[in-house]
Amino acid sequence: MMLKKADSPCMYQNPVFRLMGGLVLVNFACWAVALLVSATHPAMLASAFLAWTFGLRHAMDADHIAAIDTVTRKLMAQGRKPYSTGLFFSLGHSSVVILATCALILLPVSDWLERWHLTGNLIGTTVSVSFLLLMGILNAALVRSLIRAPSTSAQIQPLGPVSWLLRPLMKIIGKEWQMFPLGFLFGLGFDTATEIGLLGLTTTQARTDLPPATILLFPLLFTAGMMLVDSLDTVLMVEAWRWSAPSSQRRKHYLLAVASVSAATAFGVAIIEGIPLVSRVMSLPITLTGMMDFLSDHFQILGTGILATFLLMWSYVSLAGWKKPSRRQENS
C-alpha cells in the first residue's frame, strides 16, 4: 500500500501524463458541451463531429508534421524535453481559425473569406516555405556533422563552418512557446480543405437559429482534435530520443536517420508548397504544377506517412534496446 502511495504522485507529475491526460479531458469537455447543446439543437451534433475530425485530419498535414518534428529534434539537441512543441504550434494555428470564425459570425461581410484567402495564402505559404527550408538546411548540416563525427562521439549539434554560419538562425526558436507565433503565421493562408471546410461549415450554421456561442463550439472542437494529434506526435518524437539516449552508438544512428528524414521532409514539403507560389510570377510546366497540386491535395496522407516513418524508427530503436540491454552501459 505504501509503495502505491509513493508511486502515485510520480505518475501525476509525469509531463506526458499531464499533457496527454489534460488534452483528453479538454476533448471530453468540448464533447460534453456539444452533447448538452444537442439536446435543444440535435442537428448540430453531426456538424460538431465533422469539425472535430477536421482538426484530427488537419494535424496530420505534412507541413504540421515537418515543422513540429524538426523543431522538436532541434530542442532535444539542446538538452530539453519539449513535450509541448506540438501543443503550442496547434494553438497558434487554430487561433487563426477561431478569430476567423468570430469574424464570420459577428461582422457583416459576405466575401471576406475569399478576399483574405488570396492575401493570407501568400503570407502563410511564404512563412511555411521559408521556415521549412531553414529547417531542411539545419538538418542537412546535422547529417553532415554526424557522418564526419567519430562513431563514439556524443556530439549532437552541427559542427564546422556550416554550424557557425547558421547558429544565429538556430536561435529563432529556442523554447516551446515560440511555436505559437509560428503556428499562427502558418495558419494565415486558410490553404487546406479542412480549414476552408470548417469555415464554410461555420458560415452555414451561422445562417440557422444557432446562437453565436454555440457556433464557436465548432472551432473549439477543431482545436481540441488538432492539439491532441500534434501533441501525440511531439511525445512520440521525444520518447524516441529517450530510448536512443543510453547508447552513444545507437543515438548517433538514430539521429542520423531522423535528421535525414527531417531534412528530406522539410525540403520536400517546401518544394510542394513553393512551386505553386513560384508559378504565380513565372511560367512553369503544367505537369510539374499539376503534380504539386495533387500532392497538396493529399497532405494528410503525406503527413501520415512521415509520422509512420518516425514511428518505425522509434520501434526499431526500442526493440534494439530491449534485445541488447548491455549496450545501455555505453558512455554517452
Neighbours of 301 (CB within 10 A): 13
The DSSP symbol for 153 reads -
- pLDDT tens for 133-163 read 877 787 787 778 777 766 544 444 443 334 4
Per-residue b or e along 137-170, where b marks 16 or more CB atoms closer than 10 Å to that residue's CB: bbbbbbbbbbeebeeeeeebebbeebbeeeeeeb
Residue 171 has pLDDT above 50, yes or no: yes
Q: What is the mean pLDDT of residues 244-261?
A: 68
Neighbours of 10 (CB within 10 A): 9
Answer left, alpha or beta for residue 160, where phi above 0 means left and psi between -120 and 50 means alpha. left
- Domain ranges for the chain, please list them: 21-319
Q: What is the mean pLDDT of residues 111-125?
A: 57
Residue 56 has pLDDT above 70, yes or no: yes
Looking at the chain, how many residues does it have? 332
Residues 220 and 97: their CA atoms lie apart, in Å, by 9
59: confidence class by pLDDT, cuts 50, 70, 90? confident
Residue 61, φ and ψ in degrees, nearest 5:
-60, 145
Q: Of all residues in the chain, what percent carry a pLDDT higher than 70?
A: 61
Residues 140 and 135: their CA atoms lie apart, in Å, by 8
Q: What is the mean pLDDT of residues 266-289?
A: 75
Instruction: Say which range, 148-157, 222-231, 244-253, 290-299, has the weakest mean pLDDT.
Output: 148-157
Residue 193 has pLDDT above 90, yes or no: no
Residue 32: the pLDDT is 94
- pLDDT tens for 6-48 read 444 566 678 888 999 999 999 999 999 989 988 888 877 877 8
Instruction: Say which range, 23-32, 244-253, 264-273, 283-292, has the weakest mean pLDDT.
Output: 244-253
Using DSSP, state whether 245 is helix, strand or coil. coil
226 or 101, greater pLDDT: 226
Across 39-43, 77-81, 142-146, 228-232, which has the greatest mean pLDDT? Answer: 228-232
